[in-house]
Structure 1
Amino acid sequence: MSDLLSIGASGVRAYQSAMTTVSENIANVGTTGYARRSTDLSEISAAESFRTRSVLSGQGVSINGISRAADPFRSAEVRSAQSDLSRTSTGVATLERIDSSLTDYQLSDRLTAFFAAAKSVAADPSATGPRAAMLESAQGVASAFAGSGRALDAAANEIDTHAKQSLDQLNQLTGALAKVNSSLGRTAADNSGHAQLLDERDRILESMSKITDISVDIDTAGRASVRGGGSAGPMLVQGDIASTVSYSRNATGAVSLAVSRLGTTSALTPTGGELAGIVDGAQRIAAASEQLDTIAKDFVDGINAVQAGGNDLSGNPGAAMFAMSGGASTMTMPMTDPGAIAAAGPSGGARDNSNVANLDAFRTSGNIENRITDLVTDNASALSGRRAVSDVQTAIKDKATAARDSVAGVNLDEEAVDLLRFQQAYQASSRVIQVARESLQSLLNIG
């Protein structure tokens, strides 16, 4: 009877633990990063009596521990897909910012309007109305160049802010992973607490992969060693030691990422994640700013050169129409008097238009409008291509996530079946105990 009682008791304990695990799975069906768990059960092996050589019956069921459903290879695929998508998504956001900087101020349209207004002055150089319209359109051009330049400067500052926020998060994640590693080294495997730590480890690794591409090695205790920028990159986390990553950007848009660990500094060169997108984006913004500044300078120099080659309505030498102390963002139009437009040639009178006609020649030689159009079109083409890549990478990541979740995710239908099965087994084990007690009581009553 004692064997029957112990067998029944072992079943009650085992299936109570199994029901607890199933209940935990059901409760966390919506928890991000939760991996399904199961209670590992095994038979308590029968013993053989060496005195009588008779085989004794089994001793019930034992709990070996809590196992966690996870596939490290599929998790690695999710991290890789996440890094690729994050880089592309960051690049898309940057290209969209450049596009809005170049188009929101209608620079191309205002340039066209300015040259059209110059033709109106050439048609009637002594009239005040066309001159006033030309100055107004010139002011529009200066405002559009300056606005586009400032918008690109703001985009560069936003890149810096984004980078610092990403690095703050990355440094927090590396610190958190170091703590998880430390806890994993002190926690026995095959229990619920160990499974929770592994879930947290994988959540941290996936979050890190969004910021930069990482190479991960897992030891037998489940601790993760992480390198940034690929398997040959600097160590971000090893054991309970976390590195710190810093950021800087120079005037040409070149980004530098430095990893500091135990007094040693190494360069981080990300090929994936937000940081790789930031590196690309900073260079694209700098290139767009440089091109815009060059076009703006050529425009200012060309228009002012035409002005200097003629006389204004009062017969005075033409003064500069535009000014630019730095990049495109500094462009202004100091001219306020319509009569200051140098329409006439050096020896022409009020009705002479020989000099203002030179603006049409500069329009062709300077090619300002087409250069602005090319700048906008090239960026738009890159943006379209990057969006197409993003769509493909989104599908790849979704597929990788689904594959991982097919192993690690909680299926409520399966859990409901297991819950019912373990409940019945628990009740049956309880009945075994009850029968053993009743049988024992009967024997006592006979005695």
Structure 2
Amino acid sequence: MSFSTLQIGKSALLAQRYGLEVVSNNISNANTEGYSRKRADLTTANSKYEAGNFVGTGVIADQLKSFREEFFDKEIRNSITRNAGYEADQEILTRIEGVLGEPSETGLNNLISDFFISWDELSSNPDKSAYRQKVVSSARSMTDKFHQLAEGFEEARIDVLSKLRDNVADVNSLAKRISEINSRIADNHSSAIEGDLNMADEREVLIEKLAEYGKMNVSQNDDGTVNVYMNGVNLVTGKSLNELKLVETTNGTTNERTIGLYTTDKQGNPVNKVNPGAGKIEAQMKHYNETLDKDDTSGNFSIAKSINELAKEIAANVNMASVVGFGLNDTGAIPPGRSFFVPYPTDADALSIQVNSVILNDTDNIPLSSVAGESGNNQIGLQIAALADDINFINNRTPGEYYADLLSKAGNMLSDSQTGLKNSTMVLDQMKNQRDTIIGVNLDEEAVNLIKFQRSFEAASRVVNMADEVLGTIVNLGR
């Protein structure tokens, strides 16, 4: 028995106390978001050669291990990105569905049908003012609905832009916090292993929040910091970061307004264009630049542009017939060139289409006859009524078929987003559950570890007490 026994006992006390601290920290953070359980790895201290033998010198706390798994973190980030994209799609497409308000008696589908039916009825009763008034009334109901749709889509687009700006601000805030954690980790990397691991947990929570906005890739650096990329473009590089900025551009020829995402220099000027790849920002930019853009030129589906085209074709085709017709009181061989809809001859759209004020003020001015002075002539009315069944009216479809096709496309997009969200949520939950079984704190397991380290600490205390008593006895023998 020598002083080495005391040293062995001391090393055991320190190691078991450290184990107790790690277990206690696990238990206290059992409900902390993003926390990964830690384990104190104990190893045998280097032996020493004494009296012809190698003698143990105790135990040391070799390292603190985190159970965090990069594979699960990566897969969960990807699932979060997909989930957030579907969620944004669903939110916007549900808004579009609400604006359309179909099926409904006051929906555009019924109002277009009523408009052409009113012309058919007027053609059968060309000399009755009640049917003329019905044509005007149905036309106003239809144009009012076009206005409502155009305004609803534009309001939805403005809201999407507002959310985009908020989301880009969130990305910049999260990236800044990640770079700050990187700085703390780099500054303390050599002396605070446990601190590094806890800050790494906090950082991963932020990266997962960042993943809602775009496709995130992460790489590790030797100093414990990470680099974070949005679909290949640097957001965070160690301690530094690149802020993002939305830039809106307007096409001088088409008046199309589009939003782009860019990194910025220190003065806030746009530098490199960023394609988020997926997530909230990607979905919102798509709907802003395409689905809700009445001037879209991408060739992809745009509900706002499609409604505009329908209003334009209705106005153009009805006006083509009406400008060569005559009202009840018109005389002479030359038609007055009275359009039913305005603006004319410029193209109308969903927001601008109106019934000509000349007709609103006097329904006798409705151009129903192909010849002046023939009150029973209904040729123009029949031509306009026949437009309802014209398969070449717009895109090789009748007006009703064209609008039904728009509703089908919008409905399918919403259905796809709902199905995608349901499936991605299920996958995300499964991935999180699998990760939690590995990195999550199991209180039953920690309770066992607590007892284990407690008993080991008590045993080490007895070793120290015993060594103290033996050494005391030896000292007393020499007196």
- Paired residue total: 441
> Counterpart of 1:330 in structure 2: which amino acid?
S
3-state SS, counterpart of residue 343 of structure 1: coil
Instruction: Report the TM-score, using the length of structure 2 for normalisation.
Output: 0.83
- CA shift, 1:199, in A, is 0.9
Which moves more between the two structures, 63-72 or 170-179?
Answer: 63-72
Residue 284 (str. 1) matches residue 287 (str. 2): no
Deviation per CA, 1:103-143: give whole Å up to 9, x if none. Answer: 35611111112222222222322323333333222111011
Match of 2:450 in 1: 419
What residue number does 1:18 align with?
19
Q: CA deviation at 1:9?
A: 3.2
Q: Which residue of 2 aligns with 1:27?
A: 28
Aligned residue in 2 for 1:245: 244
Letter matched to residue 143 of structure 1: D
The root-mean-square deviation of aligned C-alpha atoms, in Å, is 2.7
Q: What is the rounded CA distance, in whole Å, between the counterparts of 1:254 and 1:114 in structure 2?
A: 35
Question: Equivalent residue of 1:303, what SS?
Answer: helix
Q: For 1:158-198, what per-residue CA distance to the aligned partner results, in whole angstroms no more than 9, with x for missing partners?
A: 22122211111111122112111111111135632111211
- Percent identical among aligned pairs is 22
Structure 1: distance between partners of 2:131 and 2:73 = 69
Deviation of the 1:318 alpha carbon: 7.3
Give the counterpart letter for 1:285 in structure 2: L
- In structure 2, stretches of 5+ residues that fail to align are 250-254, 294-301
Which amino acid letter does the alignment assign opposite residue 256 of structure 1? G
Are 2:65 and 1:70 aligned? no
* Amino acid in structure 1 at the alignment position of 2:349: G
Which residue identity is paired with 2:285? Answer: V
Q: Which whole-Å CA distance do the structure 2 matches of 1:297 and 1:55 have between them?
A: 96
| In structure 1, C-alpha distance between the alignment counterparts of 2:189 and 2:452, rounded to whole Å | 29
Task: Tell me whether 1:311 sits opposite 2:326 in the alignment.
Answer: yes
SS in 2 for 1:210: coil
Map 1:30-429 → 2, pairs under 5 A? 30-49=31-50, 52-56=51-55, 58-103=56-101, 106-188=107-189, 191-229=193-231, 233-250=232-249, 251-252=255-256, 254-261=258-265, 265-282=271-288, 283-286=290-293, 287-315=302-330, 317=336, 319-324=338-343, 327-333=349-355, 334=357, 335-365=360-390, 366=393, 367-429=398-460
**Deviation digits for residues 268-294 of structure 1 (CA, Å, limit 9, x no counterpart):** 122222222223223222222222211
Structure 1 position 71, deviation (Å): 1.2
The change in CA–CA distance for 1:38 and 1:132 in structure 2 (over 3 A counts) is: same
- What is residue 296 of structure 2 aligned with on the other side? none
- The alpha carbon displacement at 1:144 in A equals 0.8
> Residues of 2 paired with 1:393 and 1:92: CA distance?
13
Q: CA-to-partner distance for each residue in 1:322-353, whole Å, 9 max, x for gaps?
A: 33586312333342544333333333444443
State how far apart, in whole Å, the 2-side matches of 1:124 and 1:77 are: 69
Q: Which residue identity lines up with residue 79 of structure 2 in the other structure?
A: A
1:253/1:285 contact within 8 Å kept: no
Flag the 1:327–1:247 CA change in 2: closer, same or farther, 3 A: farther
Summarize the Cα distance change of 1:94–1:252 in structure 2 as closer, same or farther, 3 Å threshold. farther
Q: In structure 1, what is the Cα distance between the partners aligned to 2:373 and 2:401?
A: 32
For 2:128 and 2:349, the matched residues in 1 are separated by 34
Q: Could you tell me whether the CA contact under 8 Å between 1:26 and 1:415 is conserved in 2?
A: yes
> Whose helix fraction is larger, Structure 1's or Structure 2's?
1
Partners of 1:148 and 1:355 in 2: CA distance: 29
Structure 2 Cα separation of the partners of residues 18 and 143 of structure 1:
74
> Which residue identity is paired with 2:292?
I
Please give the alpha-carbon distance, in whole angstroms, between the structure 2 residues aligned to 1:78 and 1:289.
Answer: 35
Post-superposition shift, 1:55?
4.0
Q: Partners of 1:130 and 1:23 in 2: how far apart?
A: 85
Cα distance in 2 between the residues matched to 1:152 and 1:319: 31
Distance of aligned partners of 1:296 and 1:179 in 2 relative to their CA distance in 1, 3 Å threshold:
same
